[in-house]
Copies of this chain bind each other. A is one copy, B any other.
């Protein structure tokens, strides 16, 4: 198997820092920063989404999760508002000035999403959806590439290579847990992936403790571990009423829990000489 070139550390001795223009102000992901992206699993309705966006902005974040298309294991689960929710997202973006991150599942949706979102997300199930990788490789927007559930680090970097090879160099990796035999948490966070990626590649890496663990009580410890291990940031689910969430409530923090975690992350970021944002 030919290996990755553009994703390799030797292609770029300096850590890549990605600047996201955002609706009002730019925000950076990479060396020197600890960037926390937060928000509910899915956009559920207008008022709740605008409210949580404002709350999270007040806590200090700069990038908002904006789940519109939800990949669901069962065809009978809530699949998100889809394109219908895009107006809500755009409003939240303009009202708060937060940049937004949205997962895209289908190449045919890229065009509609493009003007309204700041970072495209490729979810773990689509890490090797090569059509999607190639199409997003042709855009000029940053792409957050989640690790597949059973992807080796080499395969993950090769998936990033698909994007880089098409010309998009704004790639952010995101560890979100791998599948193992251990049944207690949803997945097993591969914390070692953080130093490994730093060693093998120049690309920034975030960690998503919410999807990885599936349990709100584990989010804090794992988030702190990720920052201490050198991750460039986090992806955290926050919901006003986790018990009433249409998806993944079990793993969502309340705004109050998130506020406390954000403060703790700030202290760790300081030890690592990173600017929290």
Contact = CB atoms under 8 A, between A and B. Distances in A.
A139 to B, nearest CB: 16
Interface residues of A, number: 69
B152 A131 contact: no
Nearest to A192: B185
Nearest to A127: B125
Contacts of A184: 152-154, 192, 196
Interface of A: 1-4, 71-77, 105-108, 125-126, 128-131, 148-150, 152-155, 158, 161-162, 165, 178-185, 188-196, 198-199, 212-213, 217-218, 220-222, 224-230, 264, 267-268, 271
Nearest to A200: B184
B224 A2 contact: no
Contacts of A230: 221
Given A1-B77, A180-B190, A185-B192, 14 more contacts: A2-B74, A72-B130, A74-B161, A75-B165, A148-B150, A178-B181, A179-B181, A188-B190, A189-B190, A195-B217, A221-B230, A224-B229, A225-B225, A268-B271
22 contacts: A1-B74, A2-B76, A72-B130, A75-B158, A105-B129, A105-B131, A106-B131, A107-B108, A178-B181, A180-B190, A182-B193, A183-B183, A188-B192, A195-B217, A221-B229, A224-B228, A224-B229, A227-B228, A228-B229, A228-B268, A267-B271, A268-B271
